[in-house]
Amino acid sequence: MIIVVVYMNAIIFFIQGIVYNSSLFIVSEKIQFKLY
């Protein structure tokens, strides 16, 4: 049962990392667009 909880937390952490990286990518793209 503990293994399942750890596995679920790993999946949630992985998804949060993807969302965070994609949002940073979008923000950096907008900043680059404003610079040009």
Cα–Cα distance, 23 to 34 (Å, whole number) = 17
Does some domain include residue 33? no
pLDDT digits (tens, 9 = 90+) for 1-30: 788 999 999 999 999 999 988 888 888 888
The structural domain count of the chain equals: 1
Does some domain include residue 35? no
In this model, does residue 36 exceed pLDDT 70? no
Does some domain include residue 18? yes
Q: Output the pTM of the full model.
A: 0.54
CA distances to 2, 5, 6, 15, 24 from 11, in Å: 14, 10, 9, 6, 20
Domain that holds residue 17: 1-27
The more confidently predicted of residues 20 and 35 is 20
